[in-house]
Structure 1
Amino acid sequence: MDLQTLDYVLIFGFFGIVLFIGIYVSKKSGKSSSEYFLSGRTMPWWLLGLSMVATTFSTDTPNLVTDLVRTNGVSGNWGWWCFLITGMLTVFVYAKLWRKSNVKTDLEFYELRYGGKAASFLRKFRAIYLGVLFNVITMAAVTLAAIKIGGVMLGLEPWETVVSAGLITVVFSALGGFKGVVYSDFLLFFVAMAGAIGAAYYLVNIPEVGGLEAIMENENVKDKLSILPDLTDKKAVITMLIIPLAVQWWSSWYPGGEPGGGGYIAQRMLAAKNENHAIGATFFFNIMHYALRPWPWILVALASLVVYPDIASIHEAFPNIAEDKLGHDLAYSAMLTKLPSGLLGIVLASLVAAYMSTISTQLNWGSSYIVYDFYKQQINPNATEKQMVNVGRLSTVILMLLSALLALALQNAMGVFNLLLSFGAGTGLIFILRWFWWRINAWSEITAMFSSGILAIVLETTQLGDLLFHADYGLFPDWAELPFIMIVTTIIWVTATFVTQPETKDVLRSFYQKIQPGGPGWAKVVADAKADNIIIMNSKEKWSVPSGITAMLLGVILIYTIMFATGYWIYGETSLALILTGVAALSAFLLIKAWGKMKDTIL
């Protein structure tokens, strides 16, 4: 692909601005670990919300969406759309709780909620398990997407993409810390949105595609347009709709979609000015992430079916791409090669922006685990602020190197997505209930974590998995694998909960007094404390979970109807789009009233 001077100016100009931001804030970010990882807890809701959206833009997301659309149609996106329910639960129930905890990382929560050696082990182990293992896998998937984009659009070898994209990102991330990440995300969001929308508009109207009407009538596209799976196809309904909406959203732990909040979403809530800003940030993020952003990617994916109807046609057009990197996800990059100069520069800059935003967030979040939850806890309890910042910067570089090496060995983003879902299956319910049920203890989480991980590995890598699910002679259909892991894991951790000792009275009372979670799940703890003449309940604070769940349901209806309405407006189905728009307006009105009962303001 022939880049013009204007394209180079746009791309390198963008690099220059981002590096300037990292250097500009590096001095203040290096003052303390709190500044480096949480920016002193002074961030406003709108800046944190934009940062969350920019982080989840990612280079692998349009590739994943393209793979889903080309393989299963638009309805294939329910595999990640279902996590909106998790997101709304975080907004209206858990954002307030996280901000009240005042912890530095979500793993520090373990020694607030639990006690003893089990809690200490859990915190340290998950620092490595999530901060290194899961984090490196996630970043490798993002880098894999960058490799494919670099190979198709620029003819780069995989190692050339890894070095050029990774070097600038790791320098910027190590220097600027969390403040650099969030400030640059503000710019990255607008660049990435402009690139995605501009590319979709242009590519839908190129001569080979012929516009929206031609796409809708194309034989390769007709059966891919429905937002819901074919209701006559039992397997499709179960796999793409029932499992995600009935099981997956609450049972699986997935980066960015953790039940009960967690990971880099929790990091941003903890960096907010107060509880209201934490709520506002997560709500804004969910609106943008689900309701509006997917459609430019979906349109490009549908257009790609006209130009490149199968993998063979992609390979024919790009014969230099290694066979182990071939897949439907390449179609997004293939379509982008048709962009004109200027727009091409903006889109390439937007892809770079998406990559840098996601990787810089993952690096800062992962290194915060290593510093606070492993280094300071396990290696150097008396570490100075300067030492913690230096360890944070060093771990940032190491995480980048590990993810780059793994990316060179991966092939497909959807495979990584499914593996991460399997690894976290069955653990999500604990993350939801641990705030509201006193009986859950550290052993509940330890057994859930190990059982889901071991089951996922066994079923994916041994003949047992083929015998049960994968081969034609499997005892169960392949869609049953995730529910199977979830059910077995749940049975194991519930059993472990009741056969092990509960947390001590002091731990439970201290947690309740600080967080005020409320509800019947803590009634025994409150009553026992009262019997000992200890008051741990704040009588002025009402239990907000029932109204929070009402607001959550209204929020889910609001965002799904906006998302569907947007799609039907694009498809030209005006009547259905108008009805859905009306439902969205009504749910917005009801949500404002419900939210008003919970908070006077979110600002």
Structure 2
Amino acid sequence: MGELASLDIAVIIAFFLVICGIAAYYSKQAGKDTGEFFLSGRNMPWYIAGTAMVATTFAADTPLAVTELVAKNGIAGNWLWWNLAIGGMLTVFFFAKLWRRANILTDVEFVELRYSGKSAAILRGFRAIYLGLFMNAIVMGWVNKAMEKIFSVVIPTYDPFTLVVITALIIAVYSSASGLLGTARTDSFQFVFAMIGCIVLAVIIVQQPEVGSLTALREKLPESTLEFFPTIGNFSAGSALNGVFALSVGAFIAHVGLQWWSSWYPGADPGGGGYVAQRMMSAKDEKNSVFATLWFTIAHYAVRPWPWIIVALAALVILPRSTDEELKFENHQYYEISQQVFNKGTLSSSDSEIAQTSEFKEYYNKYENTVDPGLMYPKLMLMYLPAGLLGMLIAVFLAAYMSTIASQLNWGTSYLINDFYRRFIKREADEKHYVIMSRVGI
């Protein structure tokens, strides 16, 4: 467990070579001006722009997050983010063509197009720093943490933090070289590659004797886990009742009538924004902008999650889980040691000896599945994938991670350069200077 075969390593290396090859191919064209670097020359076809949107929102943490939602609240738990589809459809039919028509470089620039005066300039500069630097760092931070957790499960023989740093440096190099022109193309390849890998994993897991088939899987799970819609009634908002995602009437109204338009998140902004707006503005024309956003919304909410949901449901059948109270009651000493191991605390010599026993490892596996059920996804990869396919699924997570980080870097840098540096610090430089500063910023 955790040892990669030569075939796995070859698959991962081949994946990196393809990504670097695509980036190198587009690097020269991306250096012409900031329009090429940040908006791909405003000439992107809808299927590339839309697929790049989906790829960016498919991060390393996304399958783990969906697995955790299903483990805790059943399929209906995904309505915590599915409700944002309402804003997505409004973006498709009302705002996509307007973003393309605005003819701006970033959505932050729209502030001074819509408003005027010193207050508009201050707001533009503030949003550029707040979103491009601080919020961007937070988003990349949790994606990096998810990738570190995945590395710790699938390649435990190497330091996961070091592996994340190496991968991030590779991303910084190719995204700074190729800009959005290359990033969107690598994103599209990474998304197709990642979805094929996730579907392959779902098929293999469902065929295991412990599961049998999709029909057998349904029979082995409680009906509440398979419910598509949340239970609505008179109980505390957003609670989980025996694995059922339960909403009070007030919480349901808040989700359907309030949350989707009042919350901000890159990729799910009501009306567009962030890197979704960036892709809309990079489309060939208004028609391509609309089709790109329509494809993104369908793929993001209706197509992409289902292979992950199937694997998550299978994990509930295959892997042991419990409750926090039951784990304490089963073995309180093991429970306390498990907390230390999970939080990477320092163990005493006697606890270290206990942690090496097979009984404790079996207990800790159940503890880990309970407190962090998202880890069940990579655990199933290790349990059932043969050499070559394991390397492919590791490359899938790398693809998800790389597409998100590359897009975040390009998007955040577009704010810092176009809406802060170019607007307030150096206003009259040539395009070559801004491209160089953009590459340095990434």
Which residue in the other structure is 2:168 paired with?
166
1:542-581 paired onto structure 2 within 5 Å: none
1:280 to 285, 291, 294: 291
| Post-superposition offset of 1:344 | 1.4
Alpha carbons 1:151, 1:321 under 8 Å: kept: no
Alpha carbons 1:152, 1:334 under 8 Å: kept: yes
Confirm whether residue 350 of structure 1 aligns to residue 396 of structure 2.
Answer: yes
Letter paired with 1:330: L
SS of alignment partner, residue 237 of structure 1: strand
Distance 2:275 2:393 in 1: 26
- What TM-score do the two structures reach when normalised by structure 2? 0.84
Distance 1:311 1:4 in 2: 33
Alpha carbons 2:79, 2:230 under 8 Å: kept: no
Which residue in the other structure is 1:359 paired with?
405
Runs ≥4 residues deviating over 4 A: 311-316, 319-322
| Post-superposition offset of 1:231 | 3.5
Alpha carbons 1:78, 1:240 under 8 Å: kept: no
| Post-superposition offset of 1:310 | 2.4
Letter paired with 2:49: L
Which residue in the other structure is 1:486 paired with?
none
Residue identity over aligned pairs, in percent, reads 47
Which residue in the other structure is 1:245 paired with?
256
| Post-superposition offset of 1:391 | 1.6
Which residue in the other structure is 2:350 paired with?
none
State the Cα deviation string for residues 264-305 of structure 1 (Å, max 9, x = none).
Answer: 000011111111110010001111111111111111111111
C-alpha change, 1:241 and 1:2, in structure 2 (3 Å) is farther
2:177 to 148, 164, 175: 175
Which residue in the other structure is 1:303 paired with?
314
**Stretch moving more, 241-250 or 78-87:** 241-250
State the Cα deviation string for residues 441-467 of structure 1 (Å, max 9, x = none).
Answer: xxxxxxxxxxxxxxxxxxxxxxxxxxx
SS of alignment partner, residue 106 of structure 1: coil
1:454-465 paired onto structure 2 within 5 Å: none
C-alpha change, 1:143 and 1:322, in structure 2 (3 Å) is farther
Distance 2:315 2:88 in 1: 30
| Post-superposition offset of 1:137 | 0.9
Confirm whether residue 261 of structure 1 aligns to residue 278 of structure 2.
Answer: no
| Post-superposition offset of 1:119 | 0.4
C-alpha change, 1:201 and 1:34, in structure 2 (3 Å) is same
State the Cα deviation string for residues 31-55 of structure 1 (Å, max 9, x = none).
Answer: 2111111111111111111111111
Distance 1:32 1:237 in 2: 50
1:352-431 paired onto structure 2 within 5 Å: 352-396=398-442
State the Cα deviation string for residues 463-497 of structure 1 (Å, max 9, x = none).
Answer: xxxxxxxxxxxxxxxxxxxxxxxxxxxxxxxxxxx
| Post-superposition offset of 1:157 | 2.6
Confirm whether residue 323 of structure 1 aligns to residue 368 of structure 2.
Answer: no
SS of alignment partner, residue 186 of structure 1: helix
**Stretch moving more, 231-240 or 298-307:** 231-240
Distance 2:322 2:61 in 1: 18
State the Cα deviation string for residues 95-144 of structure 1 (Å, max 9, x = none).
Answer: 11111110110011010000111100010000011111111111111111
Alpha carbons 1:146, 1:161 under 8 Å: kept: no
Which residue in the other structure is 1:91 paired with?
92
Alpha carbons 1:200, 1:297 under 8 Å: kept: yes
SS of alignment partner, residue 265 of structure 2: coil
Residue segments in structure 2 that go unaligned for 5+ positions in a row: 238-245, 328-333, 345-367
CA RMSD of aligned residues (A): 2.2
| Post-superposition offset of 1:216 | 2.1
Equivalences, count: 393
Which residue in the other structure is 2:8 paired with?
7
Distance 1:294 1:42 in 2: 29
Letter paired with 2:184: V
Distance 1:320 1:39 in 2: 48
Confirm whether residue 337 of structure 1 aligns to residue 382 of structure 2.
Answer: yes
Distance 2:310 2:145 in 1: 22
Confirm whether residue 143 of structure 1 aligns to residue 144 of structure 2.
Answer: yes
Which residue in the other structure is 2:195 paired with?
193
2:217 to 182, 201, 215: 215
Distance 1:64 1:343 in 2: 22
| Post-superposition offset of 1:166 | 1.0
Alpha carbons 1:169, 1:360 under 8 Å: kept: yes
Distance 1:194 1:320 in 2: 36
SS of alignment partner, residue 247 of structure 2: helix
Higher relative contact order (CA 8 A, sep 6+): 2
Distance 1:390 1:308 in 2: 51
**Stretch moving more, 164-173 or 117-126:** 164-173
- What TM-score do the two structures reach when normalised by structure 1? 0.62
SS of alignment partner, residue 47 of structure 2: helix
Alpha carbons 2:111, 2:124 under 8 Å: kept: yes
Distance 1:312 1:39 in 2: 50
SS of alignment partner, residue 209 of structure 1: coil
Distance 2:160 2:8 in 1: 22
| Post-superposition offset of 1:309 | 3.5
SS of alignment partner, residue 337 of structure 1: helix
Distance 1:304 1:222 in 2: 16
